Structure 1
Amino acid sequence: MSHIARFRTGITSLSAGLVLPLALSGCMGGEIASTGTPLNPTERQEGAKAHPDLVAEFGGAETGPRADYVANVTRNVAVHSGLSNAPGDFTVTLLNSSVNNAFAIPGGYVYVTRQLVGLMNNEAELAGVMGHEVGHVAARHSARRQAQAQQNALLGVLGQVLSGVLLGDSALGKLGQEVATTVPQMATLRYSRTQELQADELGIQYLRNAGYDPRAMGTVLQSLAAQNALDAQLQGRDASMPEWSSTHPDPASRVQTALGKAGANAGGNTNRDVFLSRINGVMYGDDPKQGVVEGRTFTHPEFRLAFDAPQGFYMVNGTRAVSINGQSGRSQLSTAAYNGNLDSYIRTAFQALVGQGQTLAPTAIEKTTVNGIPAAYGIARVNTNSGQVDVVVYAYEFAGNRAYHFTTITAAGQSNALAPMYKSMRRISASQAAGITPRRVEVVTVRSGDTVAALAARMAFDDAKEARFRVLNGLGANDRVSAGQKVKLVVRTAS
């Protein structure tokens, strides 16, 4: 949430289906391709055009030895795709994002977040994930995915208001698309199960050709499945449903398939110790510059604000906005240009939610004060194909030229479900802001007498320390550690 000038739209809204995320769900088919058609100038131009927006959307690019290492591993695998035999043709970016994600776009552009790299346990897993993404490009899944998305673009989430307007072309559509409780057509924004299995198989093939242990594809999917289940448990949501901001719906269903494709007796390099030494110190979780979620509290040290999500809601932080999710409603915090008039700010925020030629306005705007902050809010009732919903814009003036607002969608008559959150918005002091420090991965060597419980006690969390430690290190419920083994911890750092 470094510059929350608009809602976080997600990678699928950029370049009309150009992005190919590590989505772990499914729908359409096609034959597995052993190699891809070589990169062409048109694809390179498209990739170069989309690249800056993608990097900005995911918090910027990391640089330095760690980023160089990730790029070198990726290029050494990507050359086995048939897209190009020149490693330099692939542009690899390590993104400063706390979301577990990786994706690729045509033109040789491949991306992975620092959070996903931190979840991995060896170099072969990194190579497998990046090979999977390159496999999507090699199999030309993007064109099929874009055509399917275009056929299903009108999801009807906010039907009458957005009549004739593709959801991807309006902010309210994007919010509706993200927060709708049941929108089957959302599957068109992800890859089909068959396409995911194809990309897995190609990734396994590339691993073999590059000399890596092909079983790494299965083990990294296993870690993703475990992380998804733990996140669901900690957030109090159904583990079978993906996070709203996630493009990794169901890795568990593919783990055994990937391990079977690799073969029980497969061999090859994992380069575990090298990998762990290279990722030592990588940031884990939210970057304080983008705001931090701790339980149900969101704090942004740069903007000097904090608020609490209501009981039963969980938050997902992005680089441009933080979303608040629950069964009775969904919301996002954002900002826009402010001229000192909350009334016009709110009306502009409502109108920005719909396309040209359409109108959306609150029935009235009420002024109030929240913890000493001038505030105002408006509500509009909207008819949709699934029934009526209430859209709320609740805004706060933090300075004469700076305001923030929640935009919320709930079922009609249920807008008060988010009222405790609106009332919790507050300023934080300079000392409070300075006290917010990042977490980082620290690689340590297990000493004689160390146990999982003892090591987990050092994790910089207030809850589920052992569960987090086991998931982070790919350990099962009954796995132990042994002296001399390297493991990852998550610790607090001063900067």
Structure 2
Amino acid sequence: MSHGVRAFRLSSRVKGLLAATSASLGLVACATVPGANVAPGSPITQAEAQQGAEYHEQFVAEFGGEMSGPQARYVSQVGQNIAVQSGLATSPTAFDVTLLNSSVNNAFAVPGGYVYATRQLVTLMNNEAELAAVLGHEVGHVAARHSARRQAAAQRNQLGGLGVAILSQVLLGNSGLGNTIAQGAMQGSQMLTLSYSRSQEIEADELGIRYLTLAGYDPHAMATLLSSLAAQNALDAQLQGRANATIPEWASTHPDPASRVQNALQLAGNGTGVVNRDSFLNNIDGLIYGDDPAQGVIEGSQFIHPQLRLSFTAPQGFYMVNGTRAVSINGDAGKAQMTTAAFSGNLDSYIRSVFQAIGGQNSNLAPTSIQRTTVNGLPAAYGMARVNNGQQQVDVTVFAYEFSPNQAFHFQAITPAGQASVFNEMFNSMRRISASEANAVVPRRIDIVTAQRSDTVATLARRMAYPDAQEARFRVLNGLSGNATLVPGQQYKIVVRVN
């Protein structure tokens, strides 16, 4: 959740643009702006270039901001070199490749020559060929003009205005309580229900592999990347206590990566090429891993934002995902978000405006009453409404806190009727943190180390800056299967804390 975050919704122009756009490379959620109905692989049209340029800054802002420096330049160079293989343009410089400051595994491309990847996704990769594979897959969606077909599907589904909070989807009957687990974790542009079809994902895989071959990379990198994504997805499910390891928390409507590994291997065949492992690892050394303190961090069940100077604790049995505009809290017993909205100094008005935003412009959703209280010295208020979401009776709760005369934060939660108390402990945990607590928040970063003869998976895993699942995290991060061992003299990634 970024500093100075606004309400969890997009501008109407971006909502209209994105309503027909979002799909994924497994863990990776990919989106493309609707493009012209032209032949696959034909050059970027003037209309596409204009559209991409028009929305570039809004996409960047929606996904954590643009990173700079040598790491960003390296990603850009690799992305440009793979994108030019698509035939969309004849010069690598026709493509604008952006490294995004986001802790979500994500990549997408826009039909104007704009390609994006998050730093978190880059840290999961183990060589340059895998980076090229991800970006090639995204460019493949653009080259095949998949978005035009998805726009038609959006018009059929009448899903045009999905930019407001996730709870409005539930209240308006667009999805049931049990289906909100994935959507509740999505950042603004990801708050969508559409996806590429399986055939479109496979086609993008095939195009990505073709681009890898043309660029001289090992075409098997697509399969190894998909394997790493599937392993990360399973690990996330295990760490978060989710039973379903095939549905990532931010995207539930696309084929999972594990189901496409064998197909990618078959497509690669006996092809060979470079992977550039060492140069890739050296170029990502020091990259932030996980949450950026400037956006707040999740430490176990606690969320801490050193710049906003706040903290709260999720209830037992729930897990959190930190987004650009909100923190989601997900569990079988209910879903919630912590975010903010415009505040004029009156908590009652603030809560009523949040209910109105949840319900949408044509809704009269309002709390039955608003109660005042104090939580850890903070003036607070809360309200509740019971509604039928089309499948069952649910309780919607908004619990707000005044941090200053012009700054408030709130939880918006949904539970089955009569079970709102599941979040009481969390509501009562919100507090203002001290300057010393804020200063103690240190980011995690990737550190590239060389395995010595005495090193084992266990010895390097113990250096991971996590209190739990160190070996499992190390193996997934380095693409090591359950029985793989280290190669002395080879470089590996660990996650450390660095001031």
TM-score (normalised: structure 2): 0.90
Distance 1:407 1:241 in 2: 27
Match of 1:223 in 2: 228
Distance 1:418 1:181 in 2: 17
Show CA shifts across 1:211-269 (max 9, x none): 00000000000000000000000000023352332477611111111011101x32101
Match of 1:269 in 2: 274
Distance 1:9 1:224 in 2: 28
Match of 2:179 in 1: 182
Match of 1:4 in 2: 5
Match of 2:188 in 1: none
Match of 2:168 in 1: 173
Match of 1:337 in 2: 342
Structure 1 counterpart of 2:474, from 463, 469, 474: 469
2:328·2:335 contact (CA, 8 Å) conserved in 1?
Answer: yes
- How has the CA–CA distance of structure 1 residues 178 and 434 changed in structure 2, closer, same or farther, with 3 Å as cutoff? farther
DSSP-derived class of the 2:358 partner: coil
Match of 1:82 in 2: 87
2:182·2:248 contact (CA, 8 Å) conserved in 1?
Answer: no
Show CA shifts across 1:59-108 (max 9, x none): 10011111111111111111111211111111110000000111111111
Which aligned pairs between 1:334-413 and structure 2 lie closer than 5 A? Answer: 334-413=339-418
Q: Does 1:46 align with 2:51?
A: yes
Match of 1:289 in 2: 294
Shift of 1:126: 0.4
1:104·1:110 contact (CA, 8 Å) conserved in 2?
Answer: yes
1:178·1:244 contact (CA, 8 Å) conserved in 2?
Answer: no
DSSP-derived class of the 2:162 partner: helix
2:125·2:131 contact (CA, 8 Å) conserved in 1?
Answer: yes
Q: Does 1:416 align with 2:413?
A: no
Show CA shifts across 1:287-333 (max 9, x none): 00000011111111111111111111100001211100111111111
Shift of 1:424: 0.9
Distance 2:219 2:467 in 1: 36
Shift of 1:20: 5.0
Match of 2:148 in 1: 143
DSSP-derived class of the 2:86 partner: coil
Distance 2:16 2:458 in 1: 44
Q: Does 1:456 align with 2:461?
A: yes
Structure 2 counterpart of 1:325, from 330, 336, 352: 330
Distance 2:177 2:115 in 1: 30
Distance 2:87 2:333 in 1: 48
Distance 1:14 1:483 in 2: 53
Distance 1:484 1:387 in 2: 59
DSSP-derived class of the 1:111 partner: strand
1:328·1:410 contact (CA, 8 Å) conserved in 2?
Answer: yes
- How has the CA–CA distance of structure 1 residues 403 and 115 changed in structure 2, closer, same or farther, with 3 Å as cutoff? same
DSSP-derived class of the 1:5 partner: coil
1:167·1:173 contact (CA, 8 Å) conserved in 2?
Answer: no
DSSP-derived class of the 1:353 partner: helix
Match of 1:97 in 2: 102
Match of 2:187 in 1: none
- How has the CA–CA distance of structure 1 residues 440 and 129 changed in structure 2, closer, same or farther, with 3 Å as cutoff? same
Distance 1:152 1:370 in 2: 43
For 1:290, the aligned partner's letter is: Q
Q: Which moved more, 1:409-418 or 1:359-368?
A: 409-418
Distance 2:182 2:301 in 1: 30
Distance 2:313 2:176 in 1: 19
- How has the CA–CA distance of structure 1 residues 185 and 461 changed in structure 2, closer, same or farther, with 3 Å as cutoff? closer
Q: Does 1:199 align with 2:204?
A: yes
Which aligned pairs between 1:311-322 and structure 2 lie closer than 5 A? Answer: 311-322=316-327
Shift of 1:418: 1.2
TM-score (normalised: structure 1): 0.91
Show CA shifts across 1:170-196 (max 9, x none): 434357668842379989522111111
Match of 2:283 in 1: 278
Show CA shifts across 1:390-446 (max 9, x none): 111100011122110011112222211111110111111100000001000000111
Match of 1:117 in 2: 122
Distance 1:452 1:274 in 2: 22
Distance 1:479 1:89 in 2: 41
2:464·2:494 contact (CA, 8 Å) conserved in 1?
Answer: yes
Match of 2:113 in 1: 108
- How has the CA–CA distance of structure 1 residues 195 and 468 changed in structure 2, closer, same or farther, with 3 Å as cutoff? same
- How has the CA–CA distance of structure 1 residues 8 and 319 changed in structure 2, closer, same or farther, with 3 Å as cutoff? farther
Distance 2:489 2:126 in 1: 16
Between the aligned residues of both structures, percent identity stands at 59
For 1:493, the aligned partner's letter is: V
**Which ranges in structure 1 are unaligned for 5 or more consecutive residues?**
27-32, 155-165
Match of 1:255 in 2: 261
1:121·1:275 contact (CA, 8 Å) conserved in 2?
Answer: yes
Distance 2:397 2:14 in 1: 25
Shift of 1:357: 3.9
For 2:178, the aligned partner's letter is: T
Distance 2:179 2:198 in 1: 19
Distance 2:371 2:104 in 1: 36
Distance 1:475 1:8 in 2: 39
DSSP-derived class of the 2:298 partner: strand
DSSP-derived class of the 1:361 partner: coil
Distance 2:388 2:201 in 1: 36
Distance 1:272 1:16 in 2: 35
Distance 1:381 1:185 in 2: 23
Shift of 1:34: 9.9
Alignment size in residue pairs: 476
2:21·2:195 contact (CA, 8 Å) conserved in 1?
Answer: no
For 1:258, the aligned partner's letter is: A
- How has the CA–CA distance of structure 1 residues 325 and 350 changed in structure 2, closer, same or farther, with 3 Å as cutoff? same
Distance 2:278 2:361 in 1: 56
Q: Does 1:211 align with 2:216?
A: yes
**Which ranges in structure 2 are unaligned for 5 or more consecutive residues?**
30-37, 184-191
DSSP-derived class of the 1:7 partner: coil
Shift of 1:18: 6.0
1:18·1:106 contact (CA, 8 Å) conserved in 2?
Answer: no
Q: Does 1:482 align with 2:483?
A: no
DSSP-derived class of the 1:189 partner: coil
1:17·1:142 contact (CA, 8 Å) conserved in 2?
Answer: no
Show CA shifts across 1:114-141 (max 9, x none): 0000000000000000000000001111
Distance 2:53 2:288 in 1: 27
2:181·2:331 contact (CA, 8 Å) conserved in 1?
Answer: no
